[in-house]
A and B are shown apart, each in its own frame.
Chain A
Amino acid sequence: MLSFVLRRLLIAIPTIILISVFVFTLQKLLPGDPVLAMAGEERDPQVLEYLRNKYRLNDPIFIQYINWIGNAFVGDLGISLRTNQPVLELIMEKLPVTIQLAVIAILIALVIGIPTGILSAVKKGSAVDYCANAIALSGLSIPNFWLGIMLILLVSVRWQLLPASGYVPFFEDPLKSVSVMIMPAFVLGTALAATLMRHTRSAMLDVLKSDYVRTARAKGLKEQTVVLKHAFRNAATPIVTLTALLFGELIAGAVLTEQIFTIPGFGKLIVDAVFNRDYAVVQGVVLVTAVGFILMNLLADVAYVLLNPRLRSSS
């Protein structure tokens, strides 16, 4: 198992290098000059030149890349051109917020998506199945921003049940922290729940047709045991993989929702950085996201192997 993880980590290295090159060059291709954005109104060529030298923007692009990646390797992602804070510090400040949001969203998605998926597979073709599918389809089609705004309008403004925005660190006041996050997490979670439900349904439909499910029934097991133990255990493998990937996507993809609920998270950091042409921050954020995504992929692979005895013994 350990050697399997190590092997996967080794495979991840070229991927990360490739991503870093990509991020770096893409950044350079973007229109707009960060130095101009920084200098603001003051367009004194001397000032511009000073800034260019200070941030080593006159170096050949290859050297700039080597400098950046070398520093990144030791945890130095540079200094924000905008706020003069170290990029890593900015990321470390915002990342936990988004991770908390993603965890709650995934939990909501699992709690809604998996039971409805199982139910609609077991009751295939019934009213329950059609309803679940209709709800899932609307969950997929309703845009996040609309659902977010509607929730704020109803729950916060009209009924005044939950705060509309803000953030409270989890370890300061867990209850309040979760109550602030529950609405945005719900917005993110419902869309994922729909995806999860549909995958669970099709995986379960596949498995329920299998010979070993028939064997389980022939043994005289309760239908509940047949479905939840014998069928779901085998259907769970692709679902676990999917969940890990969805989690990775959430870290980078909560941008819109974070904007609506004004959550000071990762998404907001990215948007602000792009608007301000804050190169160092954008590069750092994208790199961290990519690494996070690769780690989630690795986790998905490991989970896949752990759940599958056939792979477990061969790895």
Chain B
Amino acid sequence: MLAASSSSINSSLPVFSVADLNMRIAGSPTDLVENFSIDVFPGHTLCIVGESGCGKSISALALMGLLSPTEIDIRSGTIRFEGQEYPVSEAQNARHLRGDRLAMIFQEPMTSLNPAYKVGEQIAEAITCHHPFSSDEAKKRAIEMLAKVGIPAPAARFNEYPHQLSGGMRQRVMIAMALVNNPSLLIADEPTTALDVTIQAQIIELIRNLQKEANMGTIMITHDLGVVAKLATDVVVMYAGQIVEKGPVEAIFNDPQHPYTIGLLSSMPKLTGQRERLATIPGTVPTIQSMPSGCRFSSRCPFRAAICKEKPVARSFKNNHSVSCHFAPLDVILELSV
């Protein structure tokens, strides 16, 4: 089931690293995202999983520099990308990287394209704003890109408006727009959530092929563990703004250590074996106002103990697998059929 294989991680340097990102809603006393650190390697896909509101999307927007500083206070965090190093709070000014070296596709293809302009123009614009191409060259390049993302009759589609395209087509246009400048990192924020199931599989397949072709690093934000199994090389599990566990995809699926990860995996339906009720994690994510002071998962954790009032530190294991839990590593390897 684990389609993507994790090649030896230490063999290359990460194309994109974030260290120690902390941010909060301006004026709030509690961090929305805490100690967020990830490394993305060329050709690898890092999947960030977690339920809604766990800070996946907002972290991605912060890395792209798309958050308004008046609303979100980025308190710390450093990005290392293609040999450059800059604070996350300065990401907003990294306009030369955005859309060129660093690209993003969004969750909502229906509203992410400007209704007033032709889709082709919107792609061409991404080219001309970074490269000194003439509008004819940019148009030619945009049409090539439309063909590459599997849009039939690309030259005719160039002149169509977003409302003339279906959701799946629009997401293909978004992908074309993001990849037209051959970025070295793609951030995809739940790119299939708003689409039909059959289209979802096509889009995932498309992203995977384009990524392989360009040896591009990818951050895939999702809450669909099926997508993770299909695409991921590495997995980051987030809960309530914290990374609770991260590691290579095999380690996460075969040897989950954090109670939250275990809960997530056991909530996934199985195709084989006895049909049972799906496991659920009791309770809901605490709101930012009522965040437990120690381990943020403690209010829902079946293994809760006195020590959980203290903040757990991330512990690393073999093979870059790390967990933020007082009880890790687990003595008993939990049997999970995945």
A residues engaging B (CB < 8 A)? 125, 210-212, 214-222, 225, 230, 233-234, 307-310, 313
Cβ contacts B89-125/A at 8 Å (1 or 0 each): 0000001111110011010100111111100000001
In the complex, the answer to whether B112 meets A220 with C-beta atoms within 8 Å is no
A234 touching B116 by the CB < 8 A rule?
yes
Q: Which residues of A lie under 8 Å from residue B161 when comparing CB positions?
A: 309-310, 313
* A216→B114 contact, CB < 8 A: yes
- Which B residue sits closest to A213, measured CB to CB? B114
Q: Is the CB of A212 within 8 A of B112?
A: yes
Please give me the 5 A-B residue pairs with the lowest Cβ-Cβ distance, nearest first: A220-B99, A219-B99, A220-B98, A211-B111, A212-B114
Given contacts A212-B111, A212-B113, A313-B164, contact A218 B129 (CB under 8 A): no
Write out, one digit per residue, whether chain B residues 147-166 have a CB within 8 A of any chain A CB (1) or not (0). 00000000000000101100
B66 at the interface (CB under 8 A from A): yes
Give A230's nearest chain B residue, CB to CB. Answer: B114
- Residues of chain A within 8 A (CB-CB) of B125 are 219, 221
Q: Nearest residue in B to A212 (C-beta to C-beta)?
A: B114
Closest CB-CB distance, A2 to chain B, in whole Å?
21
- Chain B: interface residue count, which band? 20 to 34
The prevalent SS among residues of B at the interface is loop
Give A6 Cβ to nearest chain B Cβ, in Å: 25
Residues of A within 8 A of B116 (CB): 233-234, 307-309
Chain A proximity of B133: nearest CB distance (Å) = 14
A125 to B161, CA, bound (A): 34
Min distance, Cβ A314 to any Cβ of chain B, angstroms: 9
Chain B neighbourhood of A211, CB < 8 A: 106, 108, 111-112
For A216, the chain B residues whose CB sits under 8 A away are 114
The one of A125, A221, A310 in contact with B115, judged by C-beta atoms closer than 8 angstroms, is: A310
**What chain B residues lie within 8 Å of A221 (beta carbons)?**
95, 99, 125, 129
Contact of B106 among A125, A215, A307, A310 (CB under 8 A): A215
Known: A212-B114, A225-B129, A310-B163. A218 touches B64 (CB 8 A): yes
- Which chain B residues in 198-256 approach chain A with CB under 8 Å? none
Task: State in angstroms the CA–CA spacing of A234 and B163 once bound together.
Answer: 14
Taking CB as reference atom, which chain A residue is nearest B178?
A218
B130 within 8 A of A: yes
Does B38 count as interface, using CB distance less than 8 angstroms?
no
Residues of A with C-beta under 8 A to B8: none
Chain A: minimal CB distance from B61 (Å): 8
**B49 on the A face (CB < 8 A):** no
Closest CB-CB distance, B184 to chain A, in whole Å? Answer: 14
Q: Once the chains are docked, how many angstroms separate the CA of A122 from the CA of B178?
A: 26
Which among A219, A225, A310 has the greatest number of chain B C-beta atoms within 10 A?
A219
Cα distance, A192 to B95, chains bound together (Å): 38
Q: Please determine whether B70 and A219 come into contact, CB atoms closer than 8 angstroms.
A: no
A225 contact set on B, CB distance < 8 A: 129
Q: For chain B, residues 176 to 193, give those with C-beta under 8 angstroms from any C-beta of chain A.
A: 177-178
A309-B161, A309-B163, A310-B161 known; A218+B104 contact, CB < 8 A: yes
- Complexed CA–CA distance, A215 and B163 (Å): 16
Min Cβ gap B59→A in Å is 15
Selected contact of A214 from candidates B66, B95, B117, B178, CB within 8 Å: B66
Of listed A125, A210, A217, A308, residue having the most chain B CB within 10 A: A217
- In Å, the complex CA distance between A13 and B164 comes to 34
Docked-complex contact A220 and B164, CB < 8 angstroms: no
Q: Which residues of B contact A218 (CB under 8 A)?
A: 64, 66, 98-99, 103-104, 106, 178
B174 an interface residue at 8 Å Cβ cutoff? yes
CB distance from B111 to the nearest CB of A (A): 4
Verify if B325 is at the interface (C-beta below 8 Å from A). Answer: no
Residue pair B115, A234 in contact (C-beta under 8 Å): yes
Question: Hey, which chain B residues are within 8 Å of A212, CB to CB?
Answer: 111-115
15 A-B residue pairs with Cβ-Cβ distance under 8 Å, sorted by A, are: A211-B106, A212-B113, A212-B114, A219-B98, A219-B129, A219-B177, A220-B126, A221-B95, A221-B99, A222-B95, A233-B114, A233-B117, A234-B115, A308-B116, A313-B161
In the bound complex, how far is the Cα of B129 from the Cα of A222, in angstroms? 8
